[in-house]
Amino acid sequence: MSRFSDENLCRQYMEQLRWNGHPVCPYCNEQKPYKLKDGKTYRCRSKTCRKDFTVTIGTIFDNTKLPLSTWFASLYMVTHHEQGISSLRLSRDLGVTQKTAWFVLHRIRHIVSEED
Ligand SMILES: [Zn+2]
């Protein structure tokens, strides 16, 4: 929890895991996108692409307002409760609404059920 309490650390960790320090455009595989001022969005250099993306694109963390630190904590809790964890318990432990916890659990269960 303390290791991933900072949003930037979580993002850097994901970028290292996914790209090994070398971001790649998920749309056209261009190798040298540049980072925008917000510190997390990359823009493709390819003149025919030019799309923006972040490291979370195509992951369960994509298109949510939930901080990565909360996602990481959720993954930890879900994978460390052998009997399963309820959305009520997760909402209490994370300090989020039960609706948010239910959404998080739904996404995590979805990836856990996939073979890859
Ligand atoms: Zn591209």
- Find the 110 Cα to ligand 1 centroid distance in Å: 28
- Find the 37 Cα to ligand 1 centroid distance in Å: 18
Per-residue pLDDT of the chain (116 residues; tens, 9 = 90+): 888 889 999 999 999 999 998 999 999 999 999 999 999 999 999 999 999 999 999 999 998 989 999 999 999 998 888 788 999 999 999 999 999 999 999 999 888 877 66
pLDDT in tens, 65-87: 899 999 999 999 988 887 889 99
CB 34 within 8 A of CB 43: yes
The 3-state DSSP class for residue 64 equals coil
Q: What is the pLDDT of residue 116?
A: 62
Token code pair at residue 51: 């799309």
Q: How many CA atoms within 13 Å lie on the side-chain side of 111?
A: 12
